Amino acid sequence: MKHNRYKVLLIEDESNIRSMVKAILYANGYQVILADSCQSGMMLFSSHLPDLVILDLGLPDRDGLEFIRHIRKTDVTPVLVLSARTTEEDKIQALDLGANDYVTKPFGTGELLARVRAALRSCRISRDAALPAGKFQLLDLTIDYNRRLVTVGGGEVSLTQTEYNILDFLSQNSGKVLTYSAIIRQVWGYDDPGSVKKLQVNMANLRKKLGAKPGAENYIVNELGVGYRMNDT
Ligand code: CA
């Protein structure tokens, strides 16, 4: 099985389609989180911080458009709509609310995978546009910006896209205190007081993966109540 670093949240109430899409994604190396209602989708979105959402619109509790409206207040995570609604108005409505793409049912496996890759790519390109090339080195930690590869003591560290983007931003400003809102704006594109919790969850996971012991400030210093600072090389 192929592996990639992407986590996909699939919100779909029809169990046969859910199983099929899950199998397709899983076979192509994606991590998949499943939700069968709008409400559970919103909860899993906040707790799992996926890299991409695949969203059905006809959900039992609420219209899937509500999900887009809800997350777009604070978040730029790509959303791929997968729906049986085929009119142009339906598509325009979803896209205007902030969906990144729209696939109508029935769909082909190849098409779905291509749209998933495109949505992830467009999101990555817009975030990477200003990145300089090269490497960052601090103690045992190395970041290869060209390959988006992070190693500690020579061993590769597997990060989610969001964790990588946070590390990337901190390392390119090492020595500088970056406020919560500056990091949130850079990584998610929106600044909202509710996003601080999301940043803290990602940061805790990132530091755990980098091997920082509790209390030890090997790489990233927590400036309590203000933000974070990457130690200087
Ligand atoms: Ca449905």
Decide: 18 and 40 in contact? Cβ < 8 Å.
no
pLDDT at position 145, please? 86
Centroid of ligand 1 to alpha carbon of 100 (angstroms): 19
CA distance 217 to 141: 13
pLDDT at position 131, please? 43
Centroid of ligand 1 to alpha carbon of 12 (angstroms): 6
CA distance 164 to 173: 14
Centroid of ligand 1 to alpha carbon of 77 (angstroms): 22
Decide: 189 and 76 in contact? Cβ < 8 Å.
yes
Q: What is the DSSP string of 168-206?
A: HHHHTTTTSEEEHHHHHHHHHS---TTHHHHHHHHHHHH
Centroid of ligand 1 to alpha carbon of 44 (angstroms): 18
The amino acid sitting at 161 is Q
Q: Which residues of the chain have pLDDT under 50?
A: 128-132
- Distances, alpha carbon 110 to alpha carbons 113, 117, 153, 194, in Å: 5, 11, 39, 37
Centroid of ligand 1 to alpha carbon of 159 (angstroms): 32
Centroid of ligand 1 to alpha carbon of 59 (angstroms): 5
CA distance 215 to 65: 43
CA distance 77 to 53: 7
Centroid of ligand 1 to alpha carbon of 3 (angstroms): 29
Q: Which bin fits 189, alpha (ψ -120 to 50), beta or left (φ > 0)?
A: left
This prediction's pTM: 0.57
pLDDT at position 124, please? 63
Contacts with 92 (C-beta within 8 Å, 6 or more apart), sequence order: none
pLDDT at position 157, please? 94
Three-state SS for 90-114 is HHHHHHHHCCCEEEECCCCHHHHHH
- Does an H or E element contain 34, and which? strand 31-35
